[in-house]
Amino acid sequence: MKTAMLLCILFMFGSGLLALTGYGTTAPVINDTVDPSLSILSPNGGETWYIGDTNDIIWTASDTNLSPNSVYLWYSLNGGTNYTSLAEAIANGGSYPWELPSPQSYNAKVRIKVSDSFGNFTQIASASAFTISYVPPQEPTGVSVNTANGIDAVITWQPVTQTIYNTPITPDGYIVLYNESPYEHDEHFYYYLWDVTSGTSFTHGGVMRRRAEMFYRVVAYKDYDGRMAGILSAARANPETKLSVADIKQALVSADMGGEK
Amino acid sequence: MRSVVLRFGLIALAMLLSFSLIAETLALQSFESLPDDTWSYTANPVPSRLIYWGPTTEAMGGASAYDGSSYWAGWDLDNVESTVTFSTLTLQAGFTYNVSFYYFTKNLATTNDYCRYSVKYDNGTNWDGWTNVANNSNAWTAVSVDVPSGSNYLRMCLSSKFDGSTKYAHWDYILVERTPIPNTAPVVSNVTASQRTDGSKLVDIYYDLYDANGELCDISLKISADGGANYNIIPSPANLSGDFGDDLPNGTNKHIVWNIGAESYGLDSSYLYRVYADDGSSPIPENFLLVEGGTFNPPDWDGSPTSYMVTLTSFYIDKYEVTQASYQAVLGTNPSFFNGNPNYPVEQVSWFNAIEYCNRRSMQEGLTPCYSYGANGTNPSDWPTGWSYDDANHTNVSCNWSADGYRLPTEMEWMFAARGGIHSQGNTFSGSNDINDVAWYSSNSASRTHEVGELSANELGTYDMSGNVWEWVWDIMDGYPSGNHTNPTGPISGSPHMGRGGSWNFSAEYCTVSFRAGISATSMYLHVGFRCVRVSP
């Protein structure tokens, strides 16, 4: 039995079946196949930022081997179809002050890319669109209605002289809207009256004879790019069509670029 | 008695080892013009008696041959540099080499005269590094030069120059010997690894490999995440390329590329890379792959989760479906419908045919067959006539699960391997979620089988586990049981048997790693073949 076992051992040597294994080992090697984590805090959708104003793009990024000066910023005015470079190879400071450019966009996004030292990168855009808009005039104050003659409603208001950032401004005009119900928060019910005015009063002629009550709203507008004038002109050409503030806004948005006046 | 046996064994072992290490003659030149004088040479000037430069049997200067009756004599060379240049020998790895010779010098001046030699280890033609021998040995004197390890060539030149009728320089018995190097482990050195910085998530691993015995080595790679305590990160073979795998020769600066990004996990720390070299005695059968054991949740036929947890021990599996060539070699026949290429998968084979193939192949290779038929043993030649013609006979076949021969995979072994084993990335098809990457099926097959291994491999390196031909497995068809099971082998009764993987004429939903089909054991379809597994020691 033992002899047989020895012969088996000898056979293994003789036939070369004794497999030998060697190995070599590296020094410690750093590996990083994990992409950096990145999130955009602002603007991440829904914000309205004004042209000429400076807002901070804010993000958080982390990685075990984050590469220095590896943050790239872009912005898009068409929902992410095209991007324009905003900053290249900046430090991961978490924020970047951005003076908003023109033109307007209701479909703006920012995109951020951050890389680590192994070339892994993460690139994300605002979760949804934000708005880049001209700075609007402040809302008119002192709106009052005088029905002393029992026939007409004379609406008057204080002139607007500032934007919402207290910058001096002269509105291009005022739109007076009316409704028979006080739907304060529903712009669809404030119908556009036939005319606009650059003055600070408007007379709704003969309304007292036709309606028991009426509500009015006054909107100051600044026509930065002239398209508001085009919308109003079209409305004048078709006086039977009522036009609301919402309709006006929608017309501007649908025009690809534009903004609330 | 015990001491006698032990002593005998040790002596025998020592003898064997010593025999295996004995030197043998690779080349000899003793100028006897005998067949043993194998190391050819050229002389310059050609042998001449005017100035004596050539072989002789005469006693010149008091010398006679060191070996035999003839030697190379030099006498009164008229200050002409005279050389004997031996042909370049190609050296095999796995040996140490030595070149030796004898010289006899007499009355050479200590200046201007010389008798010298140069030994080179390349296949060039220049000579330098001359070594002068003693100028007046007046007796045959041995010179021995060990060839540096790793040398691929050996060549030598003997040279003499002097003038005067009392001066002599002779040579004899130029011998090259080689001695087998004891079987030593291959050496892997200069291992480096670095991840590329281009975001590709590729790692370049370089190493040098030297096996003193010249054996081809199987190269594998493991990574430690805990400073070397455990090397338990094992890259999927499908994600490795370059100097990796079986039968690699010695060499430097060998290069492996590991696509970590294709693994199911990420790395984000400090690691040690270890390159292993096995000197060719790997137990993995040719064209088989190791499927490391593990636990998994087999999806149901439609891919939905089951309550069935299965643990499998490691096993080997065919990289490829059994080819027509292999089937022909084992059973002497090729029943396939599609022909013209021996590497097409065999088809039109019944489950019984596959069983017979496994046993006969095992017998051909000296392995223990896995299958027995009733009480008729494992040799199909001993099984009753017609054993394979009746579906009902399939339960007469039993399997010795510990035998080292070939057998069909169990259904769970098949699915575990098809999913990529412990490297599974959960693909719908074997190796990809895009069936066109990995499978010949109804939309891309041109209505026929294709040569095995043409499309991409799965995570383990197996091919065609989706599509091409359905593959027989061992199991009888039934629903999956619930609970945990280790190495399940399916029901012991019932019918039919299972086929897996879909085929060239079936649409994608049949070619998933989860779809199951029942096929009666005697059926021989032109879309059904098989592959084999073996136990892993």
Of B195, B274, B278, the CB nearest to A25: B274
Min CA distance, A12 vs chain B (Å)?
11
Of B198, B200, B273, the CB nearest to A26: B273
Of B6, B188, B195, the CB nearest to A24: B188
Closest Cα in chain B to A18: B281
Of A19, A27, A34, the CB nearest to B279: A19
The predicted model scores a pTM of 0.53
The letter for the amino acid at B158 is L
User: Has domain A37-133 been given CATH number 2.30.29.30?
Assistant: no
- Which chain A residues touch B228 with a CB distance below 8 Å? 25
Query: What is the pLDDT, as a whole number, of residue A190?
Result: 67
Asked if A10's CB is within 8 angstroms of B272's CB, the reply is no
> What DSSP string runs through A42-84?
ETSSS-EEETT-EEEEEEEEE-TTBPTT-EEEEEESSTTSS-E
CB B63, CB B170: distance < 8 Å? yes
Kindly report, residue by residue over B487-505, the tens digit of the pLDDT: 999 999 999 999 999 999 9
Length, in residues, of chain A: 261
Lowest mean pLDDT among A233-237, B30-34, B76-80, B427-431: A233-237
Asked if A117's CB is within 8 angstroms of B9's CB, the reply is no
Most confident by average pLDDT, A132-146, B181-195, B310-324: B310-324
Query: What is the pLDDT, as a whole number, of residue B284?
Result: 72
* Distance (Å, whole) CA A236 – CA B374: 100
Does position B466 have pLDDT exceeding 50, yes or no? yes
Tokens of B60: 């010149």
Q: Taking residues B10-36, what's their average pLDDT?
A: 69
Chosen from B10, B13, B189, B195 to mutate, greatest number of chain A CBs within 10 A:
B195
Asked if B200's CB is within 8 angstroms of A119's CB, the reply is yes
Kindly report, residue by residue over B161-174, the tens digit of the pLDDT: 999 999 999 999 99
Query: What is the pLDDT, as a whole number, of residue B86?
Result: 97
Asked if A24's CB is within 8 angstroms of B199's CB, the reply is no
Of B189, B266, B268, the CB nearest to A24: B189
Tokens of B473: 């497995």
Asked if A23's CB is within 8 angstroms of B9's CB, the reply is no
Chosen from A29, A32, A34, A123 to mutate, greatest number of chain B CBs within 10 A:
A29
Q: Tell me the average confidence (pLDDT) per consecutive run of 10 residues in chain A, 261 residues long.
A: 31 41 93 96 95 95 94 96 96 96 91 97 97 89 92 94 86 85 66 78 91 86 82 81 76 44 25
Q: Taking residues B378-402, what's their average pLDDT?
A: 95
> What DSSP string runs through A18-37?
---EEEEEPSPEEEE-PPPE
- Which chain A residues touch B250 with a CB distance below 8 Å? none
Q: Taking residues B44-55, what's their average pLDDT?
A: 82
Put simply, whether B259 touches A (Cβ < 8 Å) is no
Put simply, whether B266 touches A (Cβ < 8 Å) is yes
- Which chain B residues touch A32 with a CB distance below 8 Å? 195, 267-268
> Which segments of B185-341 are extended strands (E)?
187-195, 202-210, 217-224, 240-242, 245-248, 251-259, 268-278, 288-291, 294-296, 308-312, 315-318
Q: Which residues pair with B470 in a beta bridge?
A: B528
- Which chain A residues touch B184 with a CB distance below 8 Å? 20
- Which chain B residues touch A120 with a CB distance below 8 Å? 199, 201
Who contacts B93 (Cβ-Cβ below 8 Å, separation ≥6)?
B211, B212, B213, B214, B250
Query: What is the pLDDT, as a whole number, of residue A241?
Result: 76
Put simply, whether B243 touches A (Cβ < 8 Å) is no
Of B12, B194, B207, the CB nearest to A29: B194
Query: What is the pLDDT, as a whole number, of residue A186?
Result: 63
Asked if B195's CB is within 8 angstroms of A30's CB, the reply is yes
* Distance (Å, whole) CA B408 – CA B497: 12
Does position B9 have pLDDT exceeding 60, yes or no? no
- Which chain A residues touch B279 with a CB distance below 8 Å? 19-22
Q: Which of B407, B414, B413 is nearest to B354 (CA)?
A: B407
CA B250 → CA A125, B70, B421, distances in Å? 52, 42, 31
Asked if B192's CB is within 8 angstroms of A18's CB, the reply is no
Asked if A119's CB is within 8 angstroms of B198's CB, the reply is yes
- Average of per-residue pLDDT values in chain B: 91
Of A13, A30, A120, the CB nearest to B17: A13
ipTM over cut 0.95: no
B residues 176..205 contacting A (CB < 8 A): 183-201, 203, 205
Q: Which of B458, B432, B425, B412 is nearest to B315 (CA)?
A: B412
Give residue B7's pLDDT band: very low, low, confident or very high (50, 70, 90): very low
Min CA distance, B331 vs chain A (Å)?
29
Query: What is the pLDDT, as a whole number, of residue A103?
Result: 86
Asked if B13's CB is within 8 angstroms of A22's CB, the reply is no
- Which chain A residues touch B208 with a CB distance below 8 Å? 24
CB pairs under 8 A between A and B: 139
Does position B117 have pLDDT exceeding 50, yes or no? yes
The CATH 2.60.40.10 domain(s) of chain A lie at: 37-133, 144-255
CB B78, CB B131: distance < 8 Å? no
Does position B16 have pLDDT exceeding 50, yes or no? no
Q: Among all chains, which residue has been given the structure tokens 């309606």?
A: A211
Chosen from A9, A17, A26 to mutate, greatest number of chain B CBs within 10 A:
A26
Kindly report, residue by residue over B241-282, the tens digit of the pLDDT: 999 988 899 999 999 999 999 988 899 999 999 999 988 655
Superfamily in which the A144-255 domain is placed by CATH: Immunoglobulins (2.60.40.10)
Length, in residues, of chain B: 537
Of B9, B196, B276, the CB nearest to A6: B9
Asked if B9's CB is within 8 angstroms of A26's CB, the reply is no
Which chain A residues touch B if contact means CB-CB below 8 Å?
Answer: 2-3, 6, 9-10, 13-14, 16-34, 64, 115, 117-121
Tell me which H or E stretch contains B4.
helix B2-20
As to burial, measured by CB atoms within 10 angstroms (0-12 exposed, 13-18 middle, 19+ buried), residue A237 is exposed
Of B13, B16, B271, the CB nearest to A29: B271
Query: What is the pLDDT, as a whole number, of residue B3?
Result: 39
Put simply, whether B271 touches A (Cβ < 8 Å) is yes
Q: Taking residues B333-342, what's their average pLDDT?
A: 94
- Choose between B246 and B398: higher pLDDT: B398
Q: How many CB atoms lie within 10 A of CB A24?
A: 19
Query: What is the pLDDT, as a whole number, of residue B320?
Result: 96
Tokens of B392: 């009902």
